Amino acid sequence: MKEKEGYVDYPEQQMILYVEKDDGKYGPMQTGSFISANYLDDYKLKRRNLEIGLREQLTANSISPLKYFMVLEDLTLSELSARAGIRKSRVRKQLTPQKFGSVTTNELQRYAAVFNIGVANLLQVVLVGINGNYESNLILENSAGHISVIHEPTANPFVVLTKIEERK
Amino acid sequence: MENYHHKMAAHCESGTVTALLNHGGLEITEPLVFGISGGIFFGYFHKTKAFSFPTFIMRNKPGQIRNNIENRLGVKFRTYEFRDPVKGQIQLDDLLIRKIPTGVQVDFFYMDYVPSWERVHINVHYLVVVGKDGNHYAISDSYFPAMVELDASSLEKGRFAGGNMSPKGFIFHLDRVPADIDYQAAIVKGIKKACFYMLRLPMPFLGIRGIRLFAKKVVEWPSFARDTEHLSHEIMKINILLEDQGTGGAGFRYIYATFLQQAAAIVQKPELKELSEELMKIGDGWREISLFSARIGKNRDLGPDKLKLLSEMIYDRAEAEERFFKNLSVAIK
């Protein structure tokens, strides 16, 4: 690939491509990510739709919170089990709402650590109202209009401080 | 660390190893590190416990770049693994106090400085830690244009994540660089190994056979998908795996072509330069696959005809790479 063909203007995600320079030598060039520059909106749309679908199942008590996060984070049962250090058969049961009640506080902590969220956030979905619609803060990534929602961990592993404030 | 120079690289492991070698006084390029270690590869995984969807790799096993560079150049890295995160942090901090830049294996998901859309659970990301200020580490991540900061708890989560290929707190640093290095022998060995892995492994999912299996099986991908959007996401990930996940473009084919061009001058074999040009063209074909996958995924144009076309494009790469590696193995004899 020639150097001029490799250039993508996308400072948010830079990368190194190896290309043919003008003098015929191959070497590195710093450029932007083609797929993020052109298709990031499509990725975000799909992730939003996935979250909405999972949330409907979650609130209808068809899946457990564990399944909601596992699918959202694209983990397999085996991988979640290995990462949490919990037997696979037990994780499999806890993916269903009927058996999720058997989860211990220690297990909740392990699951929350895998998903990199507070324990409290395993058991709630924070929605932010925008233009008459409620959107998951997890998907919005705290980028909703004039409202800022931050989940702040505390020294107490079971408690997060959820701070909602107007953006200035 | 004042005398440490951050530099972007195509790939995290070859970039980290190159950075540590350069810091230790050995002038070597990332393509040479990649090529000498026999980094180029292909593997297709249709069903595994670790992945929720069929996937593929285009480089050798994580950790092999460092191992093979040690064996083939005679450099020595000191490595450490930990069960206890506290001991892991104490050892890392001790190395930093002694001003030793340290390679660290982490789960990419916990690297907070990465944009959210890039962050996935992958336990084999490598970076260099070069300092600590209070509760924050100074990180040289070859995927970033500048040095970044990471808080200690995020680094710990990344270093001690569980699951497939879990890092177990793994860290390494350069211990010794020999006075004389036989680059010619190292290059020849690296190329021979790469040819062996691409052409001669008997497993049907590895090497050229793996590319053919990928071509054959990609038409079955719809049966794994939850819905059209899921299939679209996975098809578009072909582009990410080929271009964005630290490959240097075209699934490591461009960086290997660069290696062959540099190797041709060192081992004085002009055939390698010609082969580097051929591989650059093969890489262009992989890039067409990337762009095609992104386009049909975005348009949700994922019917059997399009997947068959994708399959044919992949078969075509298998043919081209088989010819290429056969010629390469003859050239390096």
Residue of A nearest to B232 (CA): A46
Pairing of strands A160-166, B40-45: unpaired
Cα(B216)–Cα(B46) distance, rounded to whole angstroms? 11
Domain count, chain B: 2
User: Which residue, B176, B209, B234, sits at the end of a domain?
Assistant: B176
How many other C-beta atoms can be found within 10 angstroms of the C-beta atom of residue B79?
Answer: 16
Cα(B121)–Cα(A80) distance, rounded to whole angstroms? 10
Per-residue model confidence (pLDDT) at position A141: 78
User: Which residue, B111, B146, B176, sits at the end of a domain?
Assistant: B176
Shared domain for B18 and B79, answered yes or no, is: yes
Which two structure tokens, joined as six digits, stand for B270? 């002009």
pLDDT in tens, B77-96: 999 999 999 999 999 999 99
ipTM of the complex: 0.95
Cα(B113)–Cα(B75) distance, rounded to whole angstroms? 32
Residue B331 has pLDDT above 90, yes or no: yes
pLDDT tier at B333, thresholds 50, 70, 90? confident
Cα(B287)–Cα(B290) distance, rounded to whole angstroms? 5
Query: Are the beta carbons of B74 and B181 closer than 8 angstroms?
Result: yes
CB of A82 within 8 Å of a chain B CB? The answer is yes
Cα(B248)–Cα(B283) distance, rounded to whole angstroms? 11
Cα(A76)–Cα(B50) distance, rounded to whole angstroms? 6
Shared domain for B159 and B209, answered yes or no, is: no
DSSP state for residue B50 in the 8-state scheme: S
pLDDT in tens, B161-219: 999 999 999 999 999 999 999 999 999 999 999 999 999 999 999 999 999 999 999 99
Query: Are the beta carbons of B257 and B287 closer than 8 angstroms?
Result: no
Query: Are the beta carbons of B289 and B235 closer than 8 angstroms?
Result: no
Domain ranges of chain A: 3-32, 37-166
Nearest CA to CA, how far is B254 from chain A (Å)?
5
Residue A74: its chain B contacts at CB < 8 A? 52, 120-121
* Nearest residue to B9 via CA among A97, A124, A117, A16: A16
User: Which residue, B176, B195, B215, sits at the end of a domain?
Assistant: B176
Cα(A71)–Cα(A88) distance, rounded to whole angstroms? 16
**CATH number, domain containing residue B58:** 3.90.70.10
Per-residue model confidence (pLDDT) at position B171: 98
Q: Specify whether the backbone of B233 is left (phi greater than 0), alpha (psi in -120 to 50) or beta.
A: alpha
Shared domain for B158 and B263, answered yes or no, is: no
CB of A43 within 8 Å of a chain B CB? The answer is yes
A-facing residues of B in 259-278 (CB < 8 A) are: 261, 276
Does some domain include residue B1?
no
Cα(A12)–Cα(A29) distance, rounded to whole angstroms? 16
Residue B2 has pLDDT above 80, yes or no: no
Q: Give me the DSSP letters along B70-125.
A: HHHH--EEEEE--S-HHHHHHHHHHHHHTT--EEEEE-GGG-TTS-GGG----S-E
CB of B20 within 8 Å of a chain A CB? The answer is no
pLDDT tier at A61, thresholds 50, 70, 90? very high
A83 vs B161: CB contact, 8 Å cut-off?
yes
CA distances to B202, B278, B280, B314 from B274, rounded to whole Å, are: 29, 6, 10, 23
Give the burial string for B9-46 (b: 16+ CB within 10 Å, else e): bbbbbbbbbbbbbbbbebebbbbbbbbbbbbbbbbbbb
- Closest Cβ opposite residue A42 in set B248, B250, B298: B298
Does some domain include residue B218?
yes
- Closest Cβ opposite residue A78 in set B50, B142, B287: B50
Does some domain include residue B7?
no
Q: Which domain holds residue B27?
A: 12-176
Shared domain for B56 and B199, answered yes or no, is: no
First to last CA, chain B: 44
pLDDT in tens, B149-163: 999 999 999 999 999
For A39-58, what is the mean pLDDT?
96
Residue A84: its chain B contacts at CB < 8 A? 162
Choosing among 3.40.50.1820, 1.10.260.40, 3.90.1640.10, 1.10.287.950, the CATH entry for A37-166 is 1.10.260.40
Does some domain include residue B251?
yes
